[in-house]
Structures are given as structure tokens and as C-alpha cells.
Amino acid sequence: MRKLCDINMYTMIHYSVFIFFFGGLATISFYRNNTSQGVASNTFNVTPTIASTCDLFSGRWVHDNKSHYPLYEEHECPYLDKSYACQTYGRKDFKYLQWRWQPHDCDFPRFDEKAIVERLRGKRLMFVGDSLVRNQWNSMICMLYTSIPGVKRIGGELIGSLRTFRFTDYNISIDFYWAPMLVESNGDSPTNHLTAFRIVRIKSIEKHARHWVNSDILIFNSYRWWRSHVVNFLKSGGSLLDDLNNVYEEVNMVHPSKTKLFFMSATAVHVMANKWGGMSTMNCYGETEPVMDDRFWESQTDPKMLRILESSLHNLNAKGVNVQIINITQLTQCRKDGHPALYRKHWRPLTDEQKKNPQLASDCSHWCLPGVPDIWNELLLAYIFR
């Protein structure tokens, strides 16, 4: 009989990461061992890069209107989601597009579109998580789409929580799977998931994992939805330790996955302008410059939860599951200027109150495209091919 149990959100995000990887990799290995067709190539031609020797995540933002940013223009990418198309929906300033990330101890490896497209040939990238990793997925599509010359043959489909996008001539697949809490939950519907009462199903991953069986590169995140203080889980008797041990045993019975694994860390939410010297009633709306103090830390990012996630991933590495953390937390802290705010598609008409006070309808969580997520993908690609 299933029970509904209260549990601390810090504990649950730890278990979620463990279940996601051990259960998900067990599912991947099972399907790969029992399927003879359609398995993607896992061969990577890798040469050492600066990502092997330099901390690319420690740095500062430098304004550079002569660099190659933005990597593309809005009008060049017909697949840009309207939620991120800030210029299309009225944003008039352009300076937010002209900032480059400069690591303290080395130069940042810039996007080499021709080389990247060739090295991704025949590969399947799968982004798994919430709307922020979907934001990054959309960025990757636009980066690659605008890099491929001439007429482009494109394919793709939407099947429930799975969205696929294919560059047919290069056999490159860039896919997204909606799983905001990684394990199964009552938020798994990609269109109907707005609820304040989060329920997760501990040790339930197979329904999700079968969709990324043939992935060469798996990129995931899980943070924002765990900020809810009402997180419960469904289980069927036994302890959490028993559940985890069962998953570990399942993994030990199959061959380790060859999929490259990357975890995108939490990103900043700029909803309290008084934290950077603005008015207490304001947020990211109207912001056109970054915070220039690279030690700035906005109040919505929970350091304790980040430490738990990092510890969970280190524990996974110790158990033979190699997960690379792409630490984008600090570099997003200063970019209060990078959000859509009011400049996006609104799926409901603005109320009179919202028209009078635009900050009430501002999105200060997601990011304009082109923009900050393009930097995340440059970092990700540097580590994929390091």
C-alpha cells in the first residue's frame, strides 16, 4: 500500500539525484543490452583543451561590443521560443548582448561553429529537467542552426514530455525531456503542472529514462522546483535506504552506461532589487547592466541546497558514475540584466495592475535569447570535447 510521507526538501533532492542516475542508467543499460538497433554512436574524438587545465567557472563579465557576441540574431533562428524573444517583444536596449565571460586565469574558449557541428555529427544530446534547461536547449538549437550554412534539413516532433530536434544532414539530435524533479512527480505534465503541493515518486525513473536510452550526451538540472517547502513522496513500504540499495543492486547487474553526463548547477533569480541597491518593490524589470561585483550573491539561491547537490554528485563519482558539474551559478548571479522581464510572449492579457506595475508580470527566472544561456552552452561544449 502506498503511503504519502513528508520529508525535508534537502534530503529529497539528494535522493532524487541518486535515483535519477542509478535508476536512469540501469534503464539505459537494460535497453542497450536488449536492443540491437538504433543505438547511437558513443565514439568521441577528444583532444585536450583549456577546460582540462583551467577553472572556467571563476571569472567576471567584461563588456565587449567588438567581440563575436551575440552568437546569432533573433531573426536568424525561426525556432526561438517566444518566451525568450526579448527584442521581438519590445526590448530596446542591446548592451545585455555584448558581455563576454572572462575566466580569471585563462581565456574563454569561444564557439567554433564549424568544428562543433562536425564533432557533434551522429550524436544525440538530451537535455532533461525543467524550463531553465529547456531555455538552454533552445539556445543550443539556435547556436547550431545559425552555424550550419545553406539550406538546412530539419526534423523533429513533440511526444508528450519529449521534444526532439534533428539536423538531418549531420545526423545531430538535440532533444529535451520535461522532468522538473528528475524522478516521477505530479509535475510531469509539460502543460499542466502548476501546483503548490509537490509529490514525487521515490525510486520511479523508468518512465522517464526510457526516452534517453540512445543519448550520447545527457545534460540535466534540478533545483528550482525543489525550492517548494511542500515536497512529499509516494512509496510502497520499506525505508529510503532499502529503496536506494535496491537501485544500487540493479545497477550492479548491468554494464555501466557510456553516455557522457553533465549537471547544470542552479541559476540566479533576480526578484529583489534592493539586494543590488535598487528599490525594494522592484526586480529585474528595467535592468540594463550587470552587477559589477563578482562576489554578489542574490538571496534566492540557497547555498545549502547547492552543497547537497554537489555532495550527491561527488558521491556518485565515487561509485563509478562520472558526472561533470557545469557550474554556472556564480556567473549568473551578476546578470540581472539578462532576463526577459516584461519582454516576452504573454499567454494571458496583462491586467490593469500589471500594466501599471510591469514588475508584477516580469519573468526574472528565465533568460533572453540570444544571451546568457549561450555562454552556458559554450562552457558545456568546452567540457564535452575537452
In tens, the pLDDT along 85-109 reads: 999 999 999 999 999 999 999 988 7
d(CA 111, CA 96): 18
Share of the chain above pLDDT 70, in %: 72
pLDDT exceeds cutoff 80 at 219: yes
In tens, the pLDDT along 132-141 reads: 999 999 999 9
At residue 199 the predicted structure's pLDDT band, cuts being 50, 70 and 90, is low
How far is CA 135 from each of CA 127, 130, 338, 339, 343, rounded to the nearest angstrom? 10, 9, 13, 11, 15
Q: What is the mean pLDDT of residues 104-125?
A: 90
Q: Mean pLDDT of all residues in the chain?
A: 79
Per-residue pLDDT at 16:
58
pLDDT exceeds cutoff 50 at 246: no
Per-residue pLDDT at 43:
40
Sheet holding 198-201, edge to edge: 3-6, 231-235, 198-201
CA dihedral (140, 146, 148, 153) in degrees, to 10, reads 80
Lowest mean pLDDT among 31-45, 193-207, 217-231, 362-376: 31-45
Q: Could you tell me the three cell numbers for 65?
A: 561590443
Q: Does residue 176 come out as left (phi exceeding 0), alpha (psi in the -120 to 50 range) or beta?
A: beta
Lowest mean pLDDT among 181-190, 298-307, 347-356: 181-190
Per-residue pLDDT at 233:
52
| Threshold 0.85, pTM exceeds | no
Residues 6+ apart with CB under 8 A from 71: 111, 143, 146, 370, 374
Q: Are strands 323-326 and 260-264 parallel, antiparallel or unpaired?
A: parallel
Catalytically annotated residues: 131, 363, 366
What radius of gyration, in Å, describes the C-alpha atoms of the chain?
Answer: 21
In tens, the pLDDT along 1-19 reads: 445 444 455 555 555 555 5
Per-residue pLDDT at 59:
94
Q: Which is more confident, 181 or 274?
A: 274
Per-residue pLDDT at 363:
97
Are 204 and 21 contacting, i.e. CB atoms less than 8 angstroms apart?
A: no
Per-residue pLDDT at 247:
40
Are 172 and 122 contacting, i.e. CB atoms less than 8 angstroms apart?
A: yes
How far is CA 122 from each of CA 41, 174, 219, 305, 363, rounded to the nearest angstrom? 7, 11, 17, 36, 36
pLDDT exceeds cutoff 70 at 119: yes
At residue 196 the predicted structure's pLDDT band, cuts being 50, 70 and 90, is low
Lowest mean pLDDT among 28-32, 60-64, 122-126, 145-149: 28-32
Q: Which is more confident, 315 or 258?
A: 315
Per-residue pLDDT at 323:
83
At residue 252 the predicted structure's pLDDT band, cuts being 50, 70 and 90, is very low
Q: Could you tell me the three cell numbers for 257?
A: 552506461
Per-residue pLDDT at 209:
76
pLDDT exceeds cutoff 60 at 111: yes
Q: What is the mean pLDDT of residues 153-181?
A: 90
Per-residue pLDDT at 108:
80
At residue 337 the predicted structure's pLDDT band, cuts being 50, 70 and 90, is very high
Per-residue pLDDT at 160:
83
d(CA 281, CA 262): 37
Where exactly are the structural domains of the chain? 3-34+45-384
| CA proximity to 214, closest of 31, 26, 13 | 31
Per-residue pLDDT at 30:
45
Q: Which is more confident, 162 or 227?
A: 162
pLDDT exceeds cutoff 70 at 158: yes
